[in-house]
Amino acid sequence: MHLRVNGTRHQIPPAWQAESLLDVLRDHLQLTAAKYGCGVGLCGACTVLQDGRAVRSCITPVAEATGDDIVTLEGLGGPDADHPLQRAWIAEAVPQCGYCQAGQIMSAAALLRETPQPTETEIDAAMDGNLCRCGTYGRIRRAIRRAAE
C-alpha cells in the first residue's frame, strides 16, 4: 500500500494500515502540521486535503486515502510556504496559540480551490466546522478575503 503526500509517494507497511491518516502523517511521516484536537471529526484541527477536498484526517482510515493526493500544510505552498493563504495569514497576523491554524488554512484552501471569490456565506459554510478556542475568526475571515483578492 502506498500513500502520496505533498507529491511524495510513501510505502505504508502492514503495521500502519489500520491507523488513521492523521496518525500516519504525524507519527510515521513526521508531518506534524495537522493536529489532534477532538479525534472524532468535530474540531477541524486535523484537516488536510484529499484530492483537493478538506477531510478530517483523524477519522479517515489511511487505507481510504491510498491512491489519492494528500496535501498537508507542509506541502501547500511549496518549500517556501508561499501560498497566497499563508501570505495572507501572516499579513493579518491570524494565529494566537496556533493550534488550530493548519486545519483552518487547509479548509480555506479547499474553499478557494472550488470558489476563488467566495461570498461571506460561502466562507461561513466552508469554515463552520473549524473551531478556534482563541476566537481568531475575524482575522481568519479577513485573511481568506485577502487571499481571494
The residues of the shown chain that bind ligand FES, judged by CB under 6 A, are 36-39, 41-46, 56, 58
Q: At closest approach, how far in Å is the CB of 36 from ligand FES?
A: 5
Q: How far is the CB of 61 from ligand FES (least distance, A)?
A: 13
Instruction: For residue 53, list its beta bridge partners.
Output: 50
Kindly state the smallest distance separating residue 56's Cβ from ligand FES, in Å.
4
Q: Mention every residue, 6+ apart, whose C-beta is less than 8 A from residue 23.
A: 62
Determine contact, residues 108/87, Cβ cutoff 8 Å: no
Q: What is the nearest approach in angstroms of ligand FES to the Cβ of residue 46?
A: 3
Q: What angle do CA 122, 147, 115 make, to 5 degrees?
A: 35
Nearer to ligand FES, 41 or 77 (CB): 41
Q: Which residue is nearest to ligand FES (CB)?
A: 58
b/e string for 4-16 if b means 16 or more Cβ within 10 A? Answer: ebbeeebebeeeb
Closer Cβ to ligand FES, 45 or 94, answer by number: 45
19 vs 84, beta carbon nearer ligand FES: 19
Task: Tell me how far apart the alpha carbons of residues 97 and 135 are, in angstroms, rounded to a whole number.
Answer: 10
Of 54 and 88, which CB lies nearer to ligand FES in the complex structure? Answer: 54
